[in-house]
A and B are shown apart, each in its own frame.
Chain A
Amino acid sequence: MTADLLARSGPLQSWTDRFAALPDTVQVVATPHVAMADLRVDPAGPAAADVAGFLGVDLPTAPSTYVETDSVRVIWLGPDEWLVTSPFRAPRALEAGLRDAVAGRGAVVDVSGQRTTLGLAGANARDVLSGGCAIDLHPAVFRRGAAAQTLLGLTGVVLVALDDTATSYEILVRSSFAPYLASWLLDAATEHTPT
């Protein structure tokens, strides 16, 4: 069976060496294969409560925020739309579990292949982002719990703040734009690279 011989790979697999050469103050790591499901449901309806029961956390209703448990992160995408991500659950299991909870009162679609995940960390992480992102990234307003859909360079991303000190982020980018964003990040990191 030829299919069994195909190795799992991510869209940024060939970038590993270039990421590894970056300085400590701008660390980039590609994290492929994170399960992601797009959830559409009425936040005030009974389905939202059943989804919250399944996920173990209430759906966030404040724009540009996320909540998380030990196993899932729930990112606000719109007033009736969320992105549920998990590196620990299989995509189909995540989709099936959400679909059972929604029970026809909304929509759940596995979108694991749509985006790939980049980790960006280090003392200059915020400086790098600021060069291509217009939203206010000051940790007083963009900190752990914040997740914004916006432009970074010339591509749309979901930008997730992981800490309160502007030194750790996750960037969710569409897989076909990932090489563009990777080269943009490497270019933006150049000015922070000791010569």
Chain B
Amino acid sequence: MQLITCPYCGPREEAEFHYGGQAHVPHPADPGSLSDEEWAHHLFFRDNPRGPFAERWVHALGCRRWFNAVRDTVSYRFHHIYRLDQARPETP
């Protein structure tokens, strides 16, 4: 099983984590001013790259903290794991 390194607890089995989708999706500053189409785009449309992807993960069965990770969607390799208060690292 793949190990994922929680920024707090260290390496743990993948089964302890849940996936949270694309990271760094800003909430609209004024949701009320959006059209239905723009709101639907915010809610449902996400990038789907082949390669490095910045994602949210949560250590659900450990410390229950959310964090961000840059993971390669082809190899599943985690390139970077960083806390929510840390900036997104440069990706290759």
Assess whether A20 is interfacial by the CB under 8 Å rule.
no
In the assembled complex, the Cα of A27 lies from the Cα of B12 at a distance in Å of 27
Which chain A residues border B13 with CB–CB below 8 Å?
134, 151
Which chain B residues border A63 with CB–CB below 8 Å?
8-10, 63
Interface residues of B in 1-50 (CB under 8 A from A): 1, 8-10, 12-13, 15-16
Q: Contact residue range for chain A?
A: 10 to 19
Which chain B residues border A150 with CB–CB below 8 Å?
12, 16, 61-62
Q: Which of B8, B12, B15, B16 contacts A78 (CB 8 A)?
A: B8
Q: Which of A77, A79, A81, A134 contacts B12 (CB 8 A)?
A: A134
Do residues B15 and A151 form an inter-chain contact, with CB atoms below 8 A? yes
Q: State whether A148 and B8 are in contact (beta carbons under 8 Å apart), knowing that A79-B65, A134-B1 are contacts in the complex.
A: no
Assess whether B79 is interfacial by the CB under 8 Å rule.
no
Do residues B61 and A78 form an inter-chain contact, with CB atoms below 8 A? no
Do residues B64 and A78 form an inter-chain contact, with CB atoms below 8 A? yes
Closest-by-CB residue of B relative to A78 is B63
Do residues B12 and A156 form an inter-chain contact, with CB atoms below 8 A? no
Which chain B residues border A156 with CB–CB below 8 Å?
61
Given contacts A64-B10, A134-B13, 4 further A-B contacts (CB under 8 A): A77-B64, A135-B12, A149-B62, A150-B61
What are 16 A-B contacts with C-beta separation under 8 Å? A63-B9, A78-B63, A78-B64, A81-B63, A134-B1, A134-B12, A135-B12, A148-B62, A149-B61, A149-B63, A149-B64, A150-B12, A150-B16, A150-B62, A151-B13, A151-B15
